[in-house]
Structures are given as C-alpha cells and as structure tokens.
C-alpha cells in the first residue's frame, strides 16, 4: 500500500501546486487599486452642477452684452434719423460680440465553440465584420443588406436576404457596415447620423438560413468609425461595444447624454432612452477636465445576445476626447490623449492615460502615461500579466484616418497589469524603451508571438515607384534586442504565419510577400512577387492564413492593379483573390480567383453604398477555399498531381446580387 499512498500524496501535491499557479495567474491580472465611482446620483449631479451654473452665468453675460449692443444701436439710429430727416435707417450688418472664455470651475471630488473565418487580433475574441459563418451557411453584409448562402454538399446556393435595418426605419443618414453572429442571432452594428447614435439591429437566422427581423435598439454614442479598428467584439454570447459619448458640460442637462438604450419604434423620442449605467458605474480621475478641449464619457457596453430580450450593461470613465481602444480576452483598454499648451513655454504638451475596464464588470483602473498608440494592433495583453503597447510621441487616436497621421518618436511601454491603479498611478520611466524609427509613410504594427513587428508603407495613399522599406523586430520581453530587416518593398501589412510572420507591401509596381522567421535571430526566409499588383484591402480582415500542419498553410489576400492607392477599396472591387502556399516559410503561388466587373451595380442600394469595411475576403471553411468578391462568392479547389506544382482551379461561383440570375428574393 505504500506505493499507493506515495502516488496519492504526489497527486495531491501536484494539485496544490497547480491551484497555487492558477491563483498566481489570476492575481497577475488584478490591479493594485481601482478608480472610484460616483457614490450615487446626487453626487453625479453635484459634479455636473458647477458646469450648469457656469453655463447660466455665460448665458446671462451674453444676454447683457446683447442688450447693451441693442441700446447702443438704438442711440445710433435716433442720432442718424435726427441728422437725416426723411431718410430710412439702414443699419450695418452686426457681428456677435466675442465672449471671454473663462477657465471652467474646478469639479468637486467624486465620492458553444465558435467557428471563425475572420483574421482576429486576439484568439477567442471575434470581431465585427462583413462575413460570418452559421452552420452550413455564410452570412454576408453587403451595401445595407444581409444575405445567406448555403455552402453545404459542395454547392453555392443563395437562400435569404433582408434589409440590414428595421422595416419601418428611414435608413437615410445611417451606415450599416459590421455584424456579429451569436447562436441564432445576427447583430448588425451601425451608426445613424440622423438618429444620433449606435444602431444595433437584431435578426433571427434558422437552420435553413432564413433571415427574419427581430428588433432594433439605439445606444447613445458619437461616431465610432475608424479606418483600422472595428466597433464590436464577441466573446461567447457577450457583445462588447465601445461607444464614446462626447459631453457638452454646458448643456442645460448634461446627464441627458449618459449611457442609455432604447428600443426603436415609429415615433421614438429621446425620452424613450433608459439609462444602462447608473452613477455607481461611472468613474472619473483627479484630472481637471476642460470642456473647451473636449470631455468624453468612454463607455463599454456589454449585451448578452443569448437572451430573448436584449440585456445590456455599461461602465464608463470620464476623460479627454482622444482615444484608441483594444479588447483582450479579459478587459477593454481605452487610451486617451489630450494636447495642452504650456503657459510658461508656449509648447504643446501631450498628456495621456490608459484605462482598463474588465469584461466581468469590475471597477476600472488606470495608468498615467506618455505618447499614444497608433491603433488597436499596438496593444498586447500577454498571458504573463504584462501590457505591451507601441507608442508614438504624436498620436491622434484611431478615428477615421487619424492612425495614418501619427508621427514622432517611437517607444514601447511594458507594464504589469497589477501596476494599474487609481488616479495616482503612473507608468514609471523605466517602463518605456526607445525604439528605432519606422521610416516614412503610414505605420503598420503587430505583435506576433514574443515579438513586436513594425514598419511603414503607403497605406491608403498611392505608392511611390521604387519604394523600399524595413521591418523592425523587437523582443518585447527583452527590449534591448531590436533587429532591422531590409525589405525591397514598403510595408503595408504585417500578419502572423503561425509562430512566424509575413510582411506585405508594394515597391510601387509589384506586390511583395516576405516570410519572416522569428527564431533567436529574425530573418527573411522566402519571397513571392505578384507582378503588376497591389493589395486590394487595407483592413486586417482582408487577409487570412489557414495553417495545415505546423510548417504549412494557405495565405489569401485580395489584389488589384499595380500602383493603385488603398483608398480605391472604398468603391472599387478587387481584381481577384490571390492564394499562396507557405511551406516552411518558402512562399509559392497557388493561383487566383478572379472577380467579374459590374456584378450588382444596379442593386438599388439605399444605404452603406461606400465600402468603408471593404468588400472582399478570403474564406477557408472546412477544408474548402472561397473568395468573397463584392456580390460574388467563388469557390476554388487546390489540385496537386505528382511532379507538378499545386494549382488552384475554380469549381463554382454565384452572384447573390439583387436581381441576378442566382438571387433568391
């Protein structure tokens, strides 16, 4: 029995060690302190009160100035009429008298396994996109409509289509460019300029692929569009939305802009909104917020799509307007930046902070920081409990095309999550490491394995002939180790190939693919050149890599004609979808699936008629190869005969454009 007792003792000791390690892993993501929320609604209103008082003071000052101006005008009129009897008084045009902008008063202290066909940044965190999978169907969002296509039994069959908005809503002034599929629910995320907020349309999808409208909900928010980021994430059945809300603190009732949700119905009014974040879920720092510079309520909304009636909860942090947001598997990070002119020196000084809002609804925490990320790809919350962020001295946030305009020196912030805290916590100077310059152009960056990779390319602009580039490789756990790899092309895309990477860009004429081994020493291993071509999509979802074993896989990327700028993706369909074979980082062409011009041009588009989120995607689904090209879905098959190279042949295609021969109304 002694051997049995020894075995049991060993198992028990192992369980204790594993439990201790699990507890340590959890504690690595528990900040030292958290921000304080408002104690109650009265405290929140008290915080708003000085701004309301100041607004009234300014209005009274403006009224007095207007009355004084009117009296002076009257005196001038009387004098003129006395000097010009019988003539008609014609006053000169008047202009508003400028009102001195006093500094704002100080605020009081505040008391089922999913199947992914999207190139997601974080494993297990799906991102809103234009094509998803539901059982045997592909669900496609295209120009304000939803479509389903049956891809079962090696067929392509259009099944169902429906407007991506409520049947009784006027879609004018709205954009519907992003969707998520959770269970039998399709959620379309849009923004309505006419109704002023995020629009969330819910649709049912059954096993036959039939779509039906369920409901539309509105969230208070500002315009969330980004040239790089996506508004929504899905973890399990939880829809995660970042909805920034600018606050006009001089408004008669600033609280009327707090996070709220309403169900759409004809005749809906602002009074139908119901708060989804009470005062105890709204947090602030010790920073004196200046409304003249912009004050934003950075709001995270979590909605359970598994519930029959939409159930949403919200947390929010008051901060400056500038922002970039990133979603890990544990939290949402929001980076804010504001620029202030120093009174003594006259120089513009940037102040920034990063907020961490846990996905479980726990209280947020923060760090005061320096610089600004370029986009969501600049972040990595590692499994080791550290947050890593690539920073630029003059960042502009990730709003539409702002990421392309970032500039200044580069650095890497590496800080433990447990070092986040309340409004007194700051990232120490030793947490930053200076990095080499990226070169001229639009900066691209991505974390792959234990490396940060970055460089510059043409981005949305037209590429310059003879463009050269370089790829910087940073060992972020040992930031002293930085390697520079010369490239015969600019750098417009960085993606993972398993534990290695691929760099994609143009030399102004041809499209280059460079595979990069991320071993102890980084090196370029393979190259492929597609002559007279450029990439057809700049968004991360335009690329996909399907691994087929540890050292092999297929790459898919939309392409278009040589020398064309990335901006063409907004209204042009790509020339086709290019596929490459990766075999131990040696790259070879497999073939392309071409698009046909003019498909669906007369679709009667009413809304979302510009492809902000692109229109082409490579799709690898259950050992099959597809290309979504505008209104066409094309399938190909990779053939391999002994002694011959692999080649891709088209097997079938359909058009799901309204009015086409394949379209099923």
552-595, pLDDT tens digit by residue?
999 999 998 887 877 777 788 888 999 999 999 999 999 999 98
Residue with tokens 């819910």: 202
**Residue 466 CB partners (closer than 8 Å, separation 6+):** 507, 508
Structure tokens at 151: 């891809």
- The closest alpha carbon to 534, from 503, 565, 556, belongs to 565
- The closest alpha carbon to 246, from 195, 196, 286, belongs to 196
Structure tokens at 86: 């019988």
Cα distance between residue 407 and residue 263, in whole Å: 42
pLDDT band at 133 (very low <50, low <70, confident <90, very high): very high
Q: What element of type H or E holds 424?
A: none
Quote the pLDDT of residue 563.
78
Give 249 or 422, the one with higher predicted confidence.
422
- The closest alpha carbon to 180, from 158, 202, 151, belongs to 202
Structure tokens at 404: 């392309």
Give 338 or 650, the one with higher predicted confidence.
650
Cα distance between residue 263 and residue 255, in whole Å: 20
233 and 300 Cβ atoms separated by less than 8 Å: no
**Global confidence as pTM:** 0.85
Q: For residue 94, give Cα distances in angstroms to 65, 70, 97, 326.
A: 13, 10, 9, 49
Indicate whether 28 pLDDT > 90: no
Quote the pLDDT of residue 95.
37
Structure tokens at 308: 């029959």
- The 10s digit of each residue's pLDDT in 141-177 is 999 999 999 999 888 999 999 999 999 888 988 999 9
Mean pLDDT for the chain overall = 84
**Residue 198 CB partners (closer than 8 Å, separation 6+):** 189, 190, 191, 192, 218, 219, 220, 221, 224, 231, 241, 243
**Exposed, middle or buried: residue 583 (CB in 10 Å: 0-12, 13-18, 19+)?**
middle
Quote the pLDDT of residue 451.
94
**Do β-strands 282-283 and 311-320 pair in parallel, antiparallel, or remain unpaired?**
parallel
Give 397 or 226, the one with higher predicted confidence.
226
Quote the DSSP letter at residue 345.
T
Quote the pLDDT of residue 71.
78
Give 191 or 287, the one with higher predicted confidence.
191
- The 10s digit of each residue's pLDDT in 42-71 is 988 888 777 767 667 777 777 777 777 777
Quote the pLDDT of residue 112.
41
CB atoms within 10 A of CB 572: 16
Give 123 or 140, the one with higher predicted confidence.
140
Q: For residue 529, give Cα distances in angstroms to 515, 532, 611.
A: 12, 9, 27
- SS3 assignment, position 64: helix
Q: What element of type H or E holds 665?
A: none
Indicate whether 10 pLDDT > 60: no
Cα distance between residue 303 and residue 293, in whole Å: 31
Quote the pLDDT of residue 94.
42
Give 165 or 400, the one with higher predicted confidence.
165
Quote the pLDDT of residue 221.
86
Indicate whether 17 pLDDT > 60: no
Q: Which residues of 638-664 are buried (b: 16+ CB within 10 A; e: fewer)?
A: beeeeeeebebeeeebbbbbbebebbe
- The closest alpha carbon to 624, from 559, 542, 546, belongs to 546
Average pLDDT over residues 443-456: 94
Structure tokens at 563: 């020398």
Percent of the chain with pLDDT over 70: 85
Quote the DSSP letter at residue 508.
S
Cα distance between residue 122 and residue 235, in whole Å: 11
- The 10s digit of each residue's pLDDT in 308-338 is 888 899 999 988 877 789 999 999 999 988 7
Give 109 or 245, the one with higher predicted confidence.
245
Cα distance between residue 489 and residue 333, in whole Å: 33
- The 10s digit of each residue's pLDDT in 66-124 is 777 777 777 777 776 776 777 776 654 443 333 333 333 333 333 344 567 888 999 88
Quote the pLDDT of residue 430.
93
CB atoms within 10 A of CB 295: 22
- The 10s digit of each residue's pLDDT in 338-365 is 766 666 666 666 788 999 999 988 999 9
Quote the pLDDT of residue 102.
32
- The 10s digit of each residue's pLDDT in 456-479 is 988 767 777 878 889 999 998 887
Q: For residue 590, give Cα distances in angstroms to 299, 530, 573, 654.
A: 45, 12, 21, 22
- The dihedral over CA atoms of 450, 335, 341, 424, expressed in degrees to the nearest 10, equals -90
Quote the pLDDT of residue 16.
44
What is the sign, positive or negative, of the torsion defined by CA atoms of 218, 224, 225, 231? negative
Q: For residue 222, give Cα distances in angstroms to 296, 302, 540.
A: 10, 17, 24
Average pLDDT over residues 615-626: 93
Q: For residue 232, give Cα distances in angstroms to 90, 217, 225, 327, 387.
A: 58, 15, 11, 9, 21
Mean pLDDT is highest, among 398-412, 510-524, 601-615, for 510-524
Q: In the chain, how many H helices and how many E strands?
A: 2, 41
Average pLDDT over residues 185-190: 96
Give 180 or 48, the one with higher predicted confidence.
180
- The closest alpha carbon to 321, from 297, 348, 349, belongs to 297
Lowest mean pLDDT among 17-21, 87-91, 128-132, 216-220: 17-21
Q: How far is CA 516 from the centre of its chain?
A: 26
What is the sign, positive or negative, of the torsion defined by CA atoms of 269, 274, 278, 284? negative
């Amino acid at each position: 029995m002694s051997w049995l007792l020894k075995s049991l003792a060993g198992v028990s000791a192992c369980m204790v060690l594993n439990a201790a390690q699990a507890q340590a892993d959890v504690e690595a993501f528990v900040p030292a302190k958290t921000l304080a929320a408002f104690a109650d609604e009265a405290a929140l209103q008290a915080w708003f009160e000085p701004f309301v008082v100041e607004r009234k003071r300014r209005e009274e000052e403006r009224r007095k100035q207007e009355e004084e101006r009117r009296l002076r005008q009257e005196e001038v009129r009387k004098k003129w009429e006395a000097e010009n009897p019988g003539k008609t008084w014609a006053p000169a045009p008047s202009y508003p008298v400028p009102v001195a902008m006093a500094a704002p008063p100080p605020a009081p202290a505040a008391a089922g396994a999913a199947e992914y066909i999207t190139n997601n940044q974080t494993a297990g965190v799906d991102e809103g996109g234009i094509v998803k999978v539901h059982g045997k169907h592909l669900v496609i969002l295209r120009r304000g409509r939803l479509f389903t296509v049956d891809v079962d039994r090696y067929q392509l069959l259009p099944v169902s289509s429906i407007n991506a908005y409520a049947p009784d809503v006027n879609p004018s002034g709205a954009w519907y460019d992003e969707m998520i599929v959770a269970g039998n629910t399709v959620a379309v995320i849009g923004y309505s300029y006419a109704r002023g907020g995020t629009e969330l349309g819910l649709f049912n999808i059954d096993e036959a692929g039939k779509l039906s409208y369920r409901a539309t909900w509105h969230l208070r928010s500002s315009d969330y569009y980004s040239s790089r980021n996506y508004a929504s994430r899905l973890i399990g059945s939880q829809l995660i939305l970042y909805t920034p809300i600018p606050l006009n603190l001089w408004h008669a009732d600033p609280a009327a802009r707090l996070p709220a949700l309403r169900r759409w119905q004809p005749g809906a009014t602002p009074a139908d909104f119901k708060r989804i974040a009470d005062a105890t879920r709204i947090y602030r720092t010790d920073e004196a917020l200046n409304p003249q510079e912009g004050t934003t309520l950075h709001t995270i909304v979590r909605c359970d799509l598994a519930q029959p009636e939409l159930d949403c909860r919200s947390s929010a942090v008051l901060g400056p307007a500038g922002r970039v947001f990133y979603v890990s598997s544990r939290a949402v990070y929001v980076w804010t930046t504001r620029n202030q002119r120093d009174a003594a020196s006259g120089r513009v000084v940037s102040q920034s902070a990063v907020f961490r809002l846990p996905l479980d609804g726990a209280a947020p925490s923060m760090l005061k920081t320096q610089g600004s990320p370029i986009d969501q790809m600049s972040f990595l919350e590692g499994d080791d409990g550290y947050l890593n962020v690539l920073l630029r001295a003059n960042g502009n946030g990730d709003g539409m095309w702002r990421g392309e305009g970032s500039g200044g020196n580069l650095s890497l912030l590496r800080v433990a999550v447990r070092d986040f805290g309340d409004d007194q916590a700051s990232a120490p100077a030793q947490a930053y490491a200076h990095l080499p310059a990226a070169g001229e152009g639009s900066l691209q960056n991505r974390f792959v394995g234990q490396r940060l990779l970055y460089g510059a390319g043409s981005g949305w602009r037209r590429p310059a002939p003879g463009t050269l580039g370089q790829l910087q490789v940073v060992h972020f756990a040992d930031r002293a180790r930085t390697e520079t790899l010369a490239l015969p092309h600019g750098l417009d895309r960085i993606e993972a190939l398993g534990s290695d990477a691929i760099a994609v860009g143009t030399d102004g004429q041809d499209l280059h693919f460079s595979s990069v081994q991320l071993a102890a020493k980084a090196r370029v291993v393979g190259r492929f050149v597609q002559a007279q071509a450029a990439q057809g999509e700049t968004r991360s979802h335009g690329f996909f890599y399907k691994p087929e074993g540890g050292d092999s896989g297929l790459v898919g990327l939309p392409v278009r004609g040589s020398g064309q700028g990335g901006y063409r993706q907004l209204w042009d369909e790509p020339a086709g979808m290019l596929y490459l074979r990766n075999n131990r980082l040696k790259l070879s062409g497999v073939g392309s699936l071409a698009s046909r011009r003019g498909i669906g041009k007369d679709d009667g588009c009413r809304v979302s008629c510009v492809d902000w989120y692109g229109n082409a995607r490579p799709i690898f689904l259950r050992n099959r190869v597809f290309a979504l090209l505008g209104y066409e879905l094309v399938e190909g098959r990779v053939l391999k005969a002994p002694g011959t190279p692999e080649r891709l042949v088209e097997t079938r295609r359909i058009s799901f454009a309204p009015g086409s021969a394949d379209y099923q109304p």
